[in-house]
Amino acid sequence: MKVWGQGVGAAVAVGILGAALGACLVPVAAHAAAFDPVAATQAYLDTVAADARAKSNAYFEGGYWLQLWRFLVSLAVAAVFLAGGVARRLRDGLGRLGRFDTPLFVVAYTVIDYLLSLPFVVYADWYREKRYGLMNQTLGDWFGDQLIQLAISSLFGGLLIWALYAIVRRLGRRWWIWATAFSVAALAVIVVVTPVFLAPLFNKYEAMKPGPVREALLSMARSNEVPATDVYEFNASRQSNKISANVSGLFGTTRISLTDTLLQRCTLAEIKAVMGHEMGHYVLHHVFVLLAYLSILMFVAFLLVDGAFGRLTRGGRWGITGLGDVAGLPLVMVLFTAYFFLMTPVLNTIIRTQEAEADAFGLNLAREPDGFATVALKLAEYRKLAPGKWEEVVFYDHPSGYNRILRAMRWKAETPMESQAAEPKP
Ligand SMILES: [Zn+2]
């Protein structure tokens, strides 16, 4: 699954797209009598122009360093709040306002934190995307979306953290057990409300119009008991030309959505390959599995905060009086950030494993190994195609293009021709 609102813009004409569209023609090695999956995979990779490969590698590898920089920026911002005395002064100032001082502190902290990080965020998430031809929005449009996100995180963050402070202050030593349970429940609520209330703030969602594509997708859904009576299309081209689809929501709000870019840029075989993958997430209950993993990670995070916070603030350092003191929030946040930064390979591996499962499911459902391969090449516009083994383990939240195509070619080799779908027309 892919998170809504993520990622942004690609220029249609960039070289790699031309190469990817060219690759809709099934390469010769993919037809050979004695079918060799490795050779067929290589044949697909060879259809991508060298300059397009170099560009996508540079974009993705630069992203590794950005993760480190993002972390260092958050450390610097925390230093301003703690050592710079901003958190202490803010707490003392808001303390005079009475019982809403905690949620007000959270909102003020969220906004100041955002403003201090803004130069970096503009560079990393707008300027750099634009430079790589992956951004369709003007700076003003992009910033408008940022303000909506900031409002949402202030509101949700204010309520969530207010509740967590109430837990810490009332429940004492065993607070981290209740904090974990509460956080996972809150996360589930966010997953439920996102497709219905939050995603439409950024993009227009419409039920797909009747036609052969919609019919093919609903037929796939019916054959696997995915209770979807509608498929949603949204105008992701507003932000970028990246192709994407997702399963979002939980319980009654679960839905399958695909981007207008996917419909415009892909053949029916490719669309079926992508949607087979998305239905896999649904059938395999990946949202629930992910929530279960996250609850374990959060539990450890809260335990870590419980252990480290007292040591770091001993003697009233930075004017913090204890874990229940909201002036310590920047420290709590930085401990969380450091923990999840170090956990990046673990979290990526959990998600990548689900993605690989959805790939396998999607191949069996859509029976379009070549459509799957060509769409994997299109995704390589913004994801390095063939990383090293450990590079993939540490940095990839989806399988690499190479491994996805190899999986499709193995499936093709092992599946009798008569039970495969027709190959995509050039
Ligand atoms: Zn997925």
Expressed in angstroms and rounded, the spacing between residue 360 Cα and the centre of ligand 1 is 11
Q: What is the pLDDT of residue 426?
A: 39
Expressed in angstroms and rounded, the spacing between residue 351 Cα and the centre of ligand 1 is 9
Expressed in angstroms and rounded, the spacing between residue 311 Cα and the centre of ligand 1 is 41
**Residue 295 neighbours by CB under 8 Å, 6+ apart:** 180, 183, 184
Expressed in angstroms and rounded, the spacing between residue 111 Cα and the centre of ligand 1 is 32
Expressed in angstroms and rounded, the spacing between residue 277 Cα and the centre of ligand 1 is 6
Instruction: Give CA–CA dist 82/297, Å, rounded.
Output: 26
CB atoms within 10 A of CB 334: 19
Q: What is the pLDDT of residue 30?
A: 55
Expressed in angstroms and rounded, the spacing between residue 285 Cα and the centre of ligand 1 is 12
Q: At what angle do helices 329-342 and 344-366 cross, to 10 degrees?
A: 50
Expressed in angstroms and rounded, the spacing between residue 272 Cα and the centre of ligand 1 is 14
Q: Contact 48/380 with Cβ under 8 angstroms?
A: yes
Expressed in angstroms and rounded, the spacing between residue 246 Cα and the centre of ligand 1 is 7
Expressed in angstroms and rounded, the spacing between residue 279 Cα and the centre of ligand 1 is 9
Expressed in angstroms and rounded, the spacing between residue 275 Cα and the centre of ligand 1 is 9
Expressed in angstroms and rounded, the spacing between residue 90 Cα and the centre of ligand 1 is 42
Q: What is the pLDDT of residue 14?
A: 32
Phi, psi (deg, nearest 5) at residue 106? -60, -45
Q: What is the pLDDT of residue 142?
A: 94
Q: What is the pLDDT of residue 17?
A: 34
The pLDDT tens digits of the residues spanning 102-113 come to 889 999 999 999
- Tokens encoding 236: 């992701």
Expressed in angstroms and rounded, the spacing between residue 68 Cα and the centre of ligand 1 is 25
Expressed in angstroms and rounded, the spacing between residue 251 Cα and the centre of ligand 1 is 19
Expressed in angstroms and rounded, the spacing between residue 210 Cα and the centre of ligand 1 is 25
Expressed in angstroms and rounded, the spacing between residue 353 Cα and the centre of ligand 1 is 10
Expressed in angstroms and rounded, the spacing between residue 397 Cα and the centre of ligand 1 is 9
Expressed in angstroms and rounded, the spacing between residue 286 Cα and the centre of ligand 1 is 10
Expressed in angstroms and rounded, the spacing between residue 215 Cα and the centre of ligand 1 is 22
- Tokens encoding 295: 């609850």
Positions of the chain with pLDDT lower than 70, given as ranges = 1-33, 422-426
Q: What is the pLDDT of residue 23?
A: 40
Expressed in angstroms and rounded, the spacing between residue 357 Cα and the centre of ligand 1 is 9
Q: Is 226 helix (H, G, I), strand (E, B) or coil?
A: coil
Expressed in angstroms and rounded, the spacing between residue 358 Cα and the centre of ligand 1 is 6
- Tokens encoding 37: 């999956």
Instruction: Give CA–CA dist 328/295, Å, rounded.
Output: 23
Phi, psi (deg, nearest 5) at residue 343? -85, 0
Expressed in angstroms and rounded, the spacing between residue 91 Cα and the centre of ligand 1 is 42
Expressed in angstroms and rounded, the spacing between residue 170 Cα and the centre of ligand 1 is 40
**Residue 219 neighbours by CB under 8 Å, 6+ apart:** none
- Report the alpha-carbon angle 306-308-313, nearest 5: 105
Expressed in angstroms and rounded, the spacing between residue 16 Cα and the centre of ligand 1 is 22
Expressed in angstroms and rounded, the spacing between residue 225 Cα and the centre of ligand 1 is 19
Q: What is the pLDDT of residue 44?
A: 95
CB atoms within 10 A of CB 370: 29
Q: Contact 135/129 with Cβ under 8 angstroms?
A: yes
**Residue 184 neighbours by CB under 8 Å, 6+ apart:** 291, 294, 295, 298
Expressed in angstroms and rounded, the spacing between residue 25 Cα and the centre of ligand 1 is 25
CB atoms within 10 A of CB 417: 7
Q: What is the pLDDT of residue 29?
A: 57
Expressed in angstroms and rounded, the spacing between residue 354 Cα and the centre of ligand 1 is 7
Expressed in angstroms and rounded, the spacing between residue 317 Cα and the centre of ligand 1 is 45
Expressed in angstroms and rounded, the spacing between residue 390 Cα and the centre of ligand 1 is 21
Expressed in angstroms and rounded, the spacing between residue 249 Cα and the centre of ligand 1 is 14
